[in-house]
C-alpha cells in the first residue's frame, strides 16, 4: 500500500493538510485568546453598568457580578475620571498587563503562544475599549488558568477537526489519483507487458486514449517506439530469412561456379585473340564469385570475414573494376576513368578492397545510366602520412533525400528505383573491417563524391 503511487499520495496529502492546519492553528488560537479577553471585558462592563444603575448593591451581589464576569475587579474611565467600579481581594500580584487597544497581530500571536507554554496560574491586567462608547477604557484583573484551559480545549478541537479534514481530503484524493492517474498508468503498463510477451504482434501496440496531456504524450511516445520496434523486428526477421536463402543459394552457386572454373583452362587454350584476352577476366570473375560464396557459407549471413591484409597495387584493382563495369549491358555512354597512379601500393585485403571500390563505382555508373545521359565516373587516390584515400566521383544527378538520410542502411538507402542500398552497406562494413570508413563528401545536381579512408596503422609501407 505504501509503495503504491496512490498510497503515497494519501500519506502526503494527510501530512500537507495537517501542516496547513498547523499554520492556521497559530493565528486561530491567538484570535481565540483575544475574543476570550474581549468577552471578559464586555462582561465586566455590563457588571459595572449594573452598579451605576443602582449604587447601593449589596456586597454579595457585587461578588456574584465579578464571578459571572470572571474577573477580580473592574476599573472604568468615564469623563476623564477613573473609577474602581467593582473590586474583590486579589490573591497575588499582577504579573503582566495587556492592552488590547494597540495590540498588533504578531503581538497577539506571541502572547497567545507564551500563555500556552506557561502553565502557572497568574494574575494579569487587561485593558480594552468599552463597547458602544460607554467610556474611555475599561480595565480588569483576572486569572490566567481559565484562559489557558479554554485555549487548550479550543486547540484540541481545532486539531481534531484538522485531522478529520486531512483524512477526508486524502481519501478523496486517493480515489481521484487512482481514477485519473493510476488506472491509465496500469493500462500503459499492461500494453507494455503484452507487447514484451509478443513484440511481433501488432495488436499489442498501444492506442493513445488518455485525456491527461502528460499521459497522452507518454502513450504516443510508447506507440511510436513500439511501431518502430515492430518494423525493425519484422525487417530483422526478413533479413534472417534472406540470409538463410542466400546461404542455400551460395552453396549451390559455389558448386556451379566450381564446375565453370574447370572449363576456363580450356578457354585459355583457344587460338582466338579476343577469347585469349577476355579469358583471364573470366577466370578472375569466377574466382571472386567462388570466394564470395565460400565466405558467405563460412562466416554466416550477418557478418563479413575479417580481412586478410597484404600489399596490393590499387591501380590494377581499379583497372579491373573499370573494365568489368564498361562491359555492363546498361553502361551506355558512361565513361569509367581510372586516375589512380600505377606505382601506388597500399595494405589491404585485395578481394574486399575490390568489392568496396566496385560497389561505389557500380552505384555511380547505374545512377548515370538511369538518366540516359552521358557521364563520367572517376576513381582517384592519394597517400598521406596516416592513411590512403580513394575517391569515387561521378557527374550523375546526385543522391535523393531518402538515400542521403539512410546512407549505409540496407534496403532503405537505395538511390535508384528498385535499388536495395546493399552496395553502400557492404562497402561501409568492409571499410570498417579495415579500420577505415566510407563517407559522402558531396552530392548534388553536379554529381556525387564518396571517399574511402584506409588508415595505415602499424602496417605502414
- The pLDDT assigned to 429 comes to 85
141 near 74, Cβ under 8 Å? no
Torsion of CA 325, 326, 330, 333, to 10 degrees: 130
Q: SS3 for 279?
A: helix
Please, are residues 353 and 438 in contact by the beta-carbon 8 Å criterion? Answer: no
Instruction: Return d(Cα 178, Cα 173) in angstroms, integer.
Output: 8
DSSP code, position 305: P
% pLDDT > 70, the chain? 74
Q: Is the pLDDT of residue 67 over 80?
A: no
Q: At what angle do helices 273-299 and 314-326 cross, to 10 degrees?
A: 110
Residue 453 to residue 386: CA distance in whole angstroms: 10
CA distances from 160 to 36, 150, 164 (A): 21, 16, 6
> Minimal CA–CA distance to 364: which of 451, 280, 261, 235?
451
pLDDT digit string, tens, across residues 349-358: 998 999 899 8
The three cell numbers of residue 169 are 481530503
Residue 197 reports pLDDT greater than 60: yes
Element (H, E) at 96: strand 94-99
Closest CA to 363 of 393, 340, 343: 393
Question: Grid coordinates representing 108?
Answer: 497577539
Residues 6+ apart with CB under 8 A from 261: 283, 286, 287, 290
The single-letter DSSP state of residue 95 is E
Averaged confidence pLDDT in the chain: 78
Helix axis angle for 314-326 and 350-371, nearest 10°, is: 40
Chain-centroid distance of CA 60 in Å reads 82
Mean pLDDT, residues 150-168: 84
Ranges 36-50, 313-327, 407-421: which has the least confidence: 407-421
Q: Look up residue 450 and give its three cell numbers.
A: 564518396
Angle, helices 105-117/5-53, rounded to nearest 10 degrees: 100
Confidence of residue 259 (pLDDT cuts 50, 70, 90): low
In the chain the first and final C-alpha atoms are separated, in Å, by 71
Structure confidence at residue 302 as a pLDDT band (50, 70, 90) = very low
- Domains of the chain (ranges; CATH) run 5-169 (no CATH), 307-459 (3.30.565.10)
pLDDT in tens, 223-241: 888 888 887 777 777 766 6
pLDDT band at 424 (very low <50, low <70, confident <90, very high): confident
Distances in whole angstroms, Cα of residue 265 to Cα of each of 260, 268, 324: 10, 5, 20
Q: 143-149, long-range: CB within 8 Å, 24+ apart, which pairs? A: 143/72, 144/115, 144/118, 144/120, 145/121, 146/70, 147/33, 147/36, 147/37, 147/115, 148/115, 148/116, 148/118, 148/119
147 pLDDT exceeds 80?
yes
Question: What is the C-alpha separation between 446 and 431, in angstroms, rounded?
Answer: 26
Query: What separation in angstroms does the CA of 319 have from each of 86, 94, 307, 337, 380?
Result: 129, 119, 21, 9, 11
Q: Pick the more confident residue, 374 or 47.
A: 374
Residue pointed to by grid coordinates 494527510: 14
- Written as nine digits, the cell of 246 is 542466400
pLDDT of residue 407: 81
- Strand order of the β-sheet with 73-78 is 81-86, 73-78, 137-143, 123-128, 94-99
Question: What one-character DSSP code corresponds to residue 208?
Answer: -
pLDDT digits (tens, 9 = 90+) for 24-38: 788 888 888 888 888
Within the chain, how many helices (H) and strands (E) appear?
Answer: 11, 12
Record the cell numbers describing residue 153, joined without a space.
480545549
Task: Please check whether residue 400 is in contact with residue 415, taking contact to mean a CB–CB distance below 8 angstroms.
Answer: yes
Amino acid at each position: 500500500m505504501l509503495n503504491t503511487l496512490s498510497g503515497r499520495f494519501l500519506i502526503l496529502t494527510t501530512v500537507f493538510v495537517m501542516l496547513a492546519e498547523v499554520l492556521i492553528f497559530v493565528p486561530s488560537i491567538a484570535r481565540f485568546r483575544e475574543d476570550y479577553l474581549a468577552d471578559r471585558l464586555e462582561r465586566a462592563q455590563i457588571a459595572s453598568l449594573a452598579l451605576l444603575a443602582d449604587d447601593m448593591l449589596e456586597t454579595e451581589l457585587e461578588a456574584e457580578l465579578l464571578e459571572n464576569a470572571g474577573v477580580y475587579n473592574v476599573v472604568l474611565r468615564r469623563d476623564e475620571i477613573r473609577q474602581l467600579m467593582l473590586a474583590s481581594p486579589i490573591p497575588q500580584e499582577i504579573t503582566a498587563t495587556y492592552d488590547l487597544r494597540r495590540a498588533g497581530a504578531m503581538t497577539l500571536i506571541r502572547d497567545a503562544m507564551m500563555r500556552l507554554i506557561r502553565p502557572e496560574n497568574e494574575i494579569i491586567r487587561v485593558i480594552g475599549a468599552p463597547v458602544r462608547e460607554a467610556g474611555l477604557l475599561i480595565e480588569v484583573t483576572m486569572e490566567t488558568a481559565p484562559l489557558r484551559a479554554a485555549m487548550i480545549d479550543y486547540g484540541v478541537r481545532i486539531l481534531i477537526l484538522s485531522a478529520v479534514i486531512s483524512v477526508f481530503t486524502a481519501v478523496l484524493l486517493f480515489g481521484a489519483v487512482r481514477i485519473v492517474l493510476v488506472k491509465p498508468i496500469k493500462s500503459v503498463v499492461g500494453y507494455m507487458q503484452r507487447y514484451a510477451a509478443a513484440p511481433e504482434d501488432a495488436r499489442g501496440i498501444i492506442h493513445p486514449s488518455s485525456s491527461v496531456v502528460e499521459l497522452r504524450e507518454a502513450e504516443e511516445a510508447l506507440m511510436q517506439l513500439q511501431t518502430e520496434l515492430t518494423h525493425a523486428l519484422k525487417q530483422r526477421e526478413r533479413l534472417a530469412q534472406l540470409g538463410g536463402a542466400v546461404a542455400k543459394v551460395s552453396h549451390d552457386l559455389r558448386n556451379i561456379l566450381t564446375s565453370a572454373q574447370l572449363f576456363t583452362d580450356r578457354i585459355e587454350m583457344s587460338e582466338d585473340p579476343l577469347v585469349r584476352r577476355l579469358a583471364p577476366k573470366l577466370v578472375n570473375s569466377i574466382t571472386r564469385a567462388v570466394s564470395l560464396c565460400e565466405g558467405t557459407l563460412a562466416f554466416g549471413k550477418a557478418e563479413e570475414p575479417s580481412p586478410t591484409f597484404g600489399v596490393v597495387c590499387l591501380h590494377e584493382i581499379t583497372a579491373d573494376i573499370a573494365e568489368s563495369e564498361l562491359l555492363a549491358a546498361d553502361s551506355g555512354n558512361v565513361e569509367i576513368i581510372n586516375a589512380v597512379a600505377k606505382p601506388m601500393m597500399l595494405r589491404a585485403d585485395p578481394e574486399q578492397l575490390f568489392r568496396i571500390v566496385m560497389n561505389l563505382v557500380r552505384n555511380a555508373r547505374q545512377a548515370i545510366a538511369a538518366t540516359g545521359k552521358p557521364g563520367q565516373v572517376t576513381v582517384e587516390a592519394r597517400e598521406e602520412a596516416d592513411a590512403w584515400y580513394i575517391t569515387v566521383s561521378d557527374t550523375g544527378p546526385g543522391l535523393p533525400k531518402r538515400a542521403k538520410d539512410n546512407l549505409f542502411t540496407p534496403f532503405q538507402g537505395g538511390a535508384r528505383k528498385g535499388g536495395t542500398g546493399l552496395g553502400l552497406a557492404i562497402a561501409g562494413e568492409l571499410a570498417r573491417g579495415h579500420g577505415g570508413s566510407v563517407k559522402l563528401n558531396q552530392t548534388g545536381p553536379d554529381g556525387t563524391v564518396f571517399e574511402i579512408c584506409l588508415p595505415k596503422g602499424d602496417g605502414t609501407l
